[in-house]
Structure 1
Amino acid sequence: MLRSLALATAIAFGAVIAAPAFARADAVAPAAAQQAPVAVVQTIADQLATAIEGHRDELKKNQEKLISVIDEVFLPHFDIDYASILVLGQHAREASPAQRERFARAFYNSITHRYAEGLLNYTRGRVKVLPFKGDLNDKRTVVRTQVVLDDGKLVSVDYAFRKGRNGDWKAYDVIIEGISYVTNYRNQVDAEIRKVGIEQLISNIESQGSKALDTMAKDNKDKS
């Protein structure tokens, strides 16, 4: 069961954070800009299955190639700049532009490497996109999906989307069983910045990668 939940987390959260954080939010392919939110999610699910099927052994031995595959599939569809600001929360105003860029690059690079291997277990049909009930005239909306676990159980996974100035839709958060990962990491980042300061936090993530995230998560859990 734990392995299955890890798969659901990798599939869902990987979608939001997999693209390099230094990529600009407005750097979107024309085809992606024309897609509605539901089509974006379905496109990602289909392209991910195509990219992984028949290549699992090769990708398992070469994580950097796996990361590049994830970049190609997810990059055009996510508002990385906006997601990064949400994770920093109130500290985004305190940080310099250079610090915000360094934080985004280091943080999302660490998260990408943490969840990449879990995506190797993804197969076509794992994600069921539910009928869309939102309003495309709104600036924000949610696409609801279900991830099929190894035991056949379903996990609810919602993708929060935001409409850009050009009318293109990009995801910026994922909510698994009601838990927002942006909110989850924002709480951890906030606690760590209050403890060591934003510059030290950035340095820790740059030098320690996912180990720094594990430490933040542990400290946050111990205090709760």
Structure 2
Amino acid sequence: MLRRLALATALAFATVVGAPAFAQDAAAAAAPAAVQQAPVQIVQSIADQLATAIEGHRDELKRDKEKLIAIIDDVFLPHFDIDYASILVLGRHAREATPAQRDRFAKAFYNSITHRYAEGLLNYTRGKVKVLPFNGDLNDKRTVVRTQVVLDDGKLVSIDYAFRKSRSGDWKAYDVIIEGISYVTNYRNQVDAEIRKVGIEQLITNLETQGEKALETMDKDGKDSQ
């Protein structure tokens, strides 16, 4: 299950930094069209861009994690609403936080997740993600795109991407549901427990200074309390 979560999370969330040279051209060409794309087209585009950026560069990316993270940033970030997702993760604590704290939390939390799951992308190859046909009407507040990730052993992992239409009119993903488990809900519970224990300012500081280690601590504390 951990391996599935790592790959699925890496495919969906990870970000920060600028794009490496071999990924910039394809992303720049795709950027203008992204505004016109429907959610299902965005997911398919991400899967295709990711394969193009990684194929032929695995050895290089294995040695240089920052370049790997840069690819994630280049491919995912234009299509993901970090600020909205972070507010959902903070839950009721978002109202208690200052605008500066919310901004810091969004950047630090997303950066931590990126570093934690980036290496899962090295296992990604074209065709790993099957985007399922979209049925129904688009809902501006919540439209779900369903996909399946094919593991090396042939097993399928169901992954749903929740999208909303932004104020600028383009579609942005804000949640990923892996085999029925919502990324937002899962981390909201952990963040809530951590804030109750150390306070929101200390949590943000821990994420900024410890990164993925802070997430590991949150995970461990969450499991111990169950």
TM normalised by structure 1 equals: 0.90
Corresponding letter in the other structure for 2:13: I
Instruction: Rate the CA distance shift 1:15–1:153 in 2: closer, same or farther, 3 A.
Output: closer
Distance in 2 (alpha carbons) for counterparts of 1:124 and 1:18:
18
1:206 aligns with: 208
User: Which has the higher mean CA deviation after the structures are superposed, 44-53 or 131-140?
Assistant: 131-140
Corresponding letter in the other structure for 2:32: P
2:145 aligns with: 143
Residues 19 and 80 in structure 1, CA contact (< 8 A), matched pair in contact too: no
Q: Aligned-pair distance for 1:130?
A: 0.5
Are positions 1:117 and 2:99 aligned together? no
Distance in 2 (alpha carbons) for counterparts of 1:213 and 1:71:
20
Q: Aligned-pair distance for 1:219?
A: 0.8
Corresponding letter in the other structure for 1:14: A
Q: Aligned-pair distance for 1:15?
A: 4.5
Distance in 2 (alpha carbons) for counterparts of 1:11 and 1:169:
24
Distance in 1 (alpha carbons) for counterparts of 2:6 and 2:172:
19
Corresponding letter in the other structure for 1:42: Q
Residues 141 and 161 in structure 1, CA contact (< 8 A), matched pair in contact too: yes
Distance in 1 (alpha carbons) for counterparts of 2:205 and 2:139:
41
Corresponding letter in the other structure for 1:201: L
Instruction: Rate the CA distance shift 1:45–1:10 in 2: closer, same or farther, 3 A.
Output: farther
Distance in 2 (alpha carbons) for counterparts of 1:105 and 1:138:
25
**1:187-206 equivalent positions in 2, closer than 5 A:** 187-206=189-208
Distance in 2 (alpha carbons) for counterparts of 1:89 and 1:113:
23
Query: RMSD over aligned Cα, in angstroms?
Result: 1.7
Instruction: Rate the CA distance shift 1:134–1:80 in 2: closer, same or farther, 3 A.
Output: farther
2:96 aligns with: 94
2:25 aligns with: none
Distance in 2 (alpha carbons) for counterparts of 1:188 and 1:42:
31
1:17 aligns with: 13
Residues 147 and 154 in structure 1, CA contact (< 8 A), matched pair in contact too: yes
1:43 aligns with: 45
Distance in 2 (alpha carbons) for counterparts of 1:158 and 1:165:
23
For 2:91, what is the secondary structure of its paired residue? helix
Corresponding letter in the other structure for 2:15: A
Distance in 2 (alpha carbons) for counterparts of 1:195 and 1:41:
37
TM normalised by structure 2 equals: 0.90
Q: Aligned-pair distance for 1:109?
A: 0.6
Q: Which runs of 4+ in 1 moved over 4 A?
A: none
Corresponding letter in the other structure for 1:20: V
Q: 1:75 aligns with which of 71, 74, 77?
A: 77
Q: Which runs of 5+ in 2 are unaligned?
A: 18-29
Q: Which runs of 5+ in 1 are unaligned?
A: 22-27
Distance in 1 (alpha carbons) for counterparts of 2:165 and 2:201:
32
**1:124-139 equivalent positions in 2, closer than 5 A:** 124-139=126-141
For 2:134, what is the secondary structure of its paired residue? coil
1:24 aligns with: none
Corresponding letter in the other structure for 1:81: D
Distance in 1 (alpha carbons) for counterparts of 2:12 and 2:136:
20
Distance in 1 (alpha carbons) for counterparts of 2:94 and 2:13:
18
